[in-house]
Amino acid sequence: MKELYVDLNEKSYPIYIGSGLLQQKELLVRFIKSRQILIVTNTTVAPLYLDLVVRSLGEFQVEVTLLPDGEEYKNLDHVNQIFDKLLVNKFSRNATLIALGGGVVGDMTGFAAACYQRGVAFIQIPTTVLAQVDSSVGGKTGVNHPLGKNMIGAFYQPQCVIADMDVLDTLDDRQLVAGIAEVIKYGLIRDADFFEWLEKNITLLLKRDKNALAYVIERSCENKAEIVAEDEFESGIRAILNLGHTFGHAIETGMGYGKYLHGEAVAIGICFAADLSNRLGWLSNEDVARIIALLKLAKLPVIPPKELQTSQYIELMSVDKKNVDGEIRLILLESIGKATLPINVEQSLIEQTLKNYAG
Ligand SMILES: NC(=O)c1ccc[n+]([C@@H]2O[C@H](COP(=O)([O-])OP(=O)(O)OC[C@H]3O[C@@H](n4cnc5c(N)ncnc54)[C@H](O)[C@@H]3O)[C@@H](O)[C@H]2O)c1
Ligand SMILES: [Zn+2]
């Protein structure tokens, strides 16, 4: 088992990565401060792993909220189901919530934990690649609004993250690949050596080689933990984690939540950012080609959906947390391994990139 730390003074917490972690009762139990525990999961993950987690919690009062599965349910109505369960069962302020699932369950549980009685403890047990390499770490929690992805939320850190790689065995290939988009993102924004490693080892990763997967989860979490430790509330450097996300979120919202997986939309968003960076004279043609080649090798999509018009993309991108005074701001690339902070980009340039993509 590998143990990493997110260093945030009194809010610091460990990330455990390894095999068989859900069988290790004491790993989980030592972070629980009272008898009352609510496990939040969904209808897909519960039949697979809920019993395993409940078995570790024999002596506690364990309740379960079972959410429907899908990005389209990541909203306030369904967070309310978590509050209902907490209130009906008279959960106190020292209760603990456990998020057992992918990024959707993790984001919603964390947000519910941040709000319930102004904050109760929560633990992340991420069960997708995307959640293990990205969403379970760093304390961004929240839900979608019909007009904008993740626009309602809070910064709220978990007590710990338990990433048991064994649970990835039941994940389908499309979901595995979607998680790899965020992995490639780390290489692009600050870790050129990792990007090169991915170019060489992507096939192993797609074959689910255990050592390759473990390495990728660890290195991704290291990157994320370092950025979060430096800038918990995204007043600066943390924004680079949003590479590809402004455009990616526009695709997710515009096409309807759930149509494109988050990681798929981010992959297309990365191509968009690479093209724009190249137009600005930063990223070389060769680097753009390497980026697109790696995404394609990973079997990620690189072309935006044709269903949305340029004007719709612009409109959708104008609802984003990085924007200031309503102006679109984007994370771009200076080179592979070096991202920019958010910058205003002329609308005409964005339009050129969009038209270029639309063919
Ligand atoms: N908070 C953050 O910092 C952050 C970062 C990145 C992404 N996100 C959010 O994360 C979400 C995407 O997360 P995701 O890709 O994990 O999607 P997800 O939570 O929808 O999970 C993907 C699918 O896999 C299923 N699943 C989960 N674990 C499984 C397992 N072990 N075996 C079989 N099936 C399993 C789920 O039920 C779901 O159908 C988005 O809402 C995105 O906005 C948040
Ligand atoms: Zn993301």
Could you report the per-residue pLDDT of 27-53, keeping only the tens digit for each?
999 999 899 999 999 999 999 999 999
Instruction: Label residue 346 exposed, middle or buried (CB < 10 Å: 0-12, 13-18, 19+).
Output: exposed
CA–CA distance from 163 to each of 14, 142, 145, 211, 284 (Å)? 11, 20, 28, 15, 37
| pTM, two decimal places | 0.96
Q: Tell whether the model's pLDDT for residue 308 goes beyond 90.
A: yes
For residue 342, the 8-state DSSP code is: P
Torsion 145-148-152-157 (CA) sign: positive
Cross-strand partners of 36: 61
Q: How far apart are CA 310 and CA 172, in angstroms?
A: 33
Question: What is the position in ligand 1's atom list of the atom closest to the CA of 43?
Answer: 37
Query: How buried is residue 342: exposed, middle or buried, by Cβ count under 10 Å (0-12/13-18/19+)?
Result: buried
> How many C-beta atoms surround the C-beta of residue 14 within 10 A?
15
CB-ligand 1 contact for 98 (6 Å cutoff): no
Q: Which of 19, 107, 152 to mutate to test the pocket of ligand 1 (most atoms within 8 A of CB)?
A: 107
Q: State yes or no: is 118 an active-site residue.
A: yes
Closest by CA to 190, choosing from 140, 228, 158, is 228
Q: How many contiguous H segments (helices) and E segments (strands) does the chain have? A: 13, 13
pLDDT confidence of residue 359: 41
252 lines ligand 1 (CB under 6 A): no
**Residue 150 to residue 162: CA distance in whole angstroms:** 23
The residues with which 39 forms a beta bridge, in sequence order, are 64, 98
Rounded Cα distance, 191 and 184, in Å: 9
Q: What angle do CA 91, 93, 98 make, to 5 degrees?
A: 70
pLDDT at 357: 66
Mean pLDDT, rounded, for 172-182: 98
- Cβ of residue 162 lying under 6 Å from some atom of ligand 1: no
Tell me what pLDDT residue 323 has: 73
Instruction: Decide if 249 is catalytic.
Output: yes
Report, as an integer, the average pLDDT of 6-29. 97
Q: What is the model's pLDDT at position 33?
A: 87
Q: Crossing angle, helix 192-206 and helix 173-190, to 10 degrees?
A: 170
State the average pLDDT over residues 131-155. 95
Q: Tell me if 295 sits within 8 A of 184, measured CB to CB.
A: yes
Whether 112 shows a pLDDT value over 70: the answer reads yes
Tell me the CA–centroid distance for residue 66 and ligand 1, in Å: 15
SS3 of 294-324: the string is HHHHCCCCCCCCCCCCHHHHHHHHCCCCCCE
For residue 74, the ligand 1 atom closest to its alpha carbon is 41
* Pairwise CA distance, residues 311 & 213, whole Å: 40
CA dist., res. 199 & res. 184, Å (int): 9
Encoded tokens for 2: 């590998």
Question: Would you state the structure tokens that stand for residue 183, as one six-digit string?
Answer: 């992995």
Backbone angles phi, psi at 119, to 5 degrees: 130, 115
- 274, 283 Cβ separation under 8 angstroms: yes
Is 262 assigned a catalytic role? yes
Mark 269-304 as b/e (b = at least 16 C-beta within 10 Å).
bbbbbbbbbbbbebbeeebbebbbebbeebebbbeb
Q: Which atom of ligand 1 is nearest to the CA of 149?
A: 43
Contact 262 CB / ligand 1 (< 6 Å): yes
245 is catalytic: yes
Averaged confidence pLDDT in the chain: 95
Using pLDDT thresholds of 50, 70 and 90, give the confidence band for residue 355: confident
Q: What is the pLDDT of residue 356?
A: 78
Query: Residue 140 gets which letter from DSSP?
Result: E
Asked if residues 4 and 218 have their Cβ atoms less than 8 Å apart, the reply is yes
Question: Is 238 among the catalytic positions?
Answer: yes
Q: How far is the CA of 27 from the centre of ligand 1 (A)?
A: 23
Pocket test residue of 100, 128, 180 for ligand 1, highest count of atoms within 8 A of CB: 128
User: Is residue 207 predicted with pLDDT exceeding 80?
Assistant: yes
Q: Of 29, 10, 32, which Cα lies nearest the Cα of 95?
A: 32
Query: Residue 127 and residue 49: Cα distance in Å, rounded?
Result: 9
First to last CA, the chain: 48
State yes or no: pLDDT of 226 exceeds 70: yes
Q: What is the pLDDT of residue 70?
A: 95
C-beta of 69 in contact with ligand 1 (< 6 A): yes
Distance 214 CA to ligand 2 centre (A): 20
Closest by alpha carbon to 106, among 122, 119, 92?
Answer: 122
